[in-house]
Every structure is written in structure tokens, then in C-alpha cells.
Structure 1
Amino acid sequence: MASEQSFALPGYSLRIGSTLDRTTVVKFMERTYRELDPQQPTDHIAATVDRFLGRDTPLWWVDADSAASPVGALWLGQATDQRSGILHPYVLMLYVAPAHRRCGIATALLAVAETWAQQQGHRQISLQVFSDNQAAQALYNRLGYQSEAVLMKKKLSEETVEEI
């Protein structure tokens, strides 16, 4: 589970979340998707949270002295490295409210994740970022994350394919 971590940003504090925070996790993930593309469907998010949110998926919230609700969050899941087969932490959600961006919150949250991962004996963390999210890509590159694969997809027609 998530252990206590230091979080030295004036005006902000870090607290550990739990499965009881399901509704807030869904809300934050929906915000993330809507900010990137307001037309993007979000009806799948609750099911995704239900599938992955658990005692073994650490969750941290950032509270601001000036706000009633959290202004940032980091949620880690697990992934398997496609090359080595090693199980490792995977960033399921990193979100900072727009009014609190560029204050160092995302960087501090990723440092918390790295410390936690090292304490658990992990040697890597991975994440996926949308190709049009240039700000996030710049942050991750600056923090030493490197592209390792390119996700490719092809949309298939909705027509039913006859059995071969």
C-alpha cells in the first residue's frame, strides 16, 4: 500500500487515498479526458476505475490550503514490461487542476511515485500519454521518461465480418 511520503510544496499537502475515493477518482479521470478532447466519450471511465482501483494500487491526493477539494492526484496500477516480463508500477492517472498547474505538483507527485516504487523494490515506472498532449510529454521527457513503443491502432468498419 502507499506509505507516507514527504511533499514539500508550500501551500499544498499530500494524503494517501483509498478505494473509498472511487467517485473522486472517476471525476478526476473524466476531467482529464474532457480537457484533452471535450467530444471524447467518458462513459467507460467508471468501469475502468472499478476494474483497477484496489488496495494494491496506490493513490495520492494533493490538497491546497485554499481549496475544499483535492487539486491533484496520482494513481498507480501495475503493468508488465513487454520486453522483460517484469511487473512494475504504471501511472494510471496524473492530474493537476488547471489553476494549480506549473507549481511543481506533477513533478512532486512523480517523485513520490518513484520513491514509493523504489521502496517496493521496483526498478522502473511506465506511463502512457496521448500523442497530442504536448505539455505532459514535455514534463515526462524533462523528468527522464523515454519513449519505448508507439501505440498504433486501426479503426475497423462496424459491418459484421463473415466467418471464414
Structure 2
Amino acid sequence: MIRRGSTLERSLLLKFMHRTYQDLFPNEDFSHLEQTVKQYFSSDTPLWWVEEEGEQGAGSREQGAGSRGQGVGSRINNSIPNAQFPIPNSQFPIACLWVGNAIDQVHGNRHAHIFILYVVPEHRRRGIGTALMRYVEDWAIQRGDRQIGLQVFQSNKPALNLYNQLGYQTQSLWMVKFLSAEK
């Protein structure tokens, strides 16, 4: 089931963000993510959780922004290990989606921007990510958005494959150059 999260779930969102980045960069420190959540997480930036049907959550159950997002829980089970997260399995979501707002720099229109889409590894390749993406697309269409933006690491091949399969296209490249303070 997809459940709308609340701003009271800040710490759970932060745990999911840490796990997301630790999956990609296991030797890095992500203590700075707390500042990201403090700065951007609000009632204006919706958060959705995927939980097994029948679980009790802190928010209300969504009946779907459209028909494409329903029934996710029927294809998943609850086998996430407790090792990193002290929340009982029966209460721990298996996926999350956090969305904010952005402004298209070409046309000036507000649009949805995906901050995070994360499915715990034990539940990947079961259609959950695809269902969440379709869910957010329906949500964005209903609120009048004409596009959805996201940022994905070039090294995250599974995510790139998912987004390409769903019709997402590269519009711009975010380039970085690491600088040394030493001369």
C-alpha cells in the first residue's frame, strides 16, 4: 500500500536518505543530510511510503493519485533486516518517495522534482519503483505539472535504466570539478 507520510516522520525520512546514499557510497559520511531534510521537508513537499498491506502507519492510506499507483503492497513482503534501523519490521516501510517543487529554467513553470526514490534492496526488481514513478506522475498531472525532474548519479545504473524505460530524458548535465585547497 502507498501511504502519505507526514512531517512528523522526519527521522524516518532521514534514515531512508542515509541508506540511499550508503548504498551508492558506502565509505562516506552523510551527516549533512539532516540539513537537507531541515531545509526542504515540509507539508509542501509530499512524502509517500510503501508498506505491506495491513500494516499500521502514521498517515492516511492513499487510494491512489490515479489507478496506476494502487496495489503495490500485494507484490511485496516484509523481510527487511533490523540491523541498521531500530524500527520493528512490521512498522518499517520498504520504499519511499519524497517530492518537492522546482522551476523549469527554460519556460519558468513550476514542476515536481523527485528528491528521493528508494526501495530497500530486498524488495527491488518487483515493480515497486515503477509503481511509485507512475504514482507520482499521476499526482503531478492532477496538480497541473507538465514535467517531473530528478537527479540521478551516473553510476546508479539500475536507476538510470528505470528512468530511461519510463521515458525520462537527459535535459541537462550537472557537472562538478573537485577543487583542492592546497596550492
TM-score by length of 2: 0.78
Give 2:166's aligned residue: 143
Q: Give the alignment partner of residue 21 of structure 1, picking from 9, 16, 29.
A: 9
Give 1:38's aligned residue: 26
CA deviations on 1:50-77 (whole Å, 9 max, x unpaired) are 1111011111000025341100000001
Aligned-residue CA RMSD in angstroms? 1.3
C-alpha displacement at 1:41, in angstroms? 2.4
C-alpha displacement at 1:159, in angstroms? 4.6
**AA in 1 matched with 2:157:** Q
Q: Does 1:49 align with 2:37?
A: yes
Runs of 4+ in structure 1 deviating by more than 4 angstroms, as ranges, are: none
Q: Does 1:152 align with 2:175?
A: yes
Counterpart Cα distance in 2 of 1:82 and 1:113: 21
Counterpart Cα distance in 1 of 2:94 and 2:167: 24
Counterpart Cα distance in 2 of 1:83 and 1:39: 37
Alignment of 1:1-164 (within 5 A): 13-65=1-53, 66=78, 67-68=89-90, 69-159=92-182
C-alpha displacement at 1:144, in angstroms? 0.5
For structure 2, the 5+ residue unaligned runs are: 54-77, 79-88
C-alpha displacement at 1:113, in angstroms? 0.4
How many residue pairs get matched?
148
TM-score by length of 1: 0.86
C-alpha displacement at 1:87, in angstroms? 1.3
CA deviations on 1:14-59 (whole Å, 9 max, x unpaired) are 1100111100100000000000011222011011011111011111
Counterpart Cα distance in 2 of 1:132 and 1:40: 15
- 1:95 match: secondary structure: strand
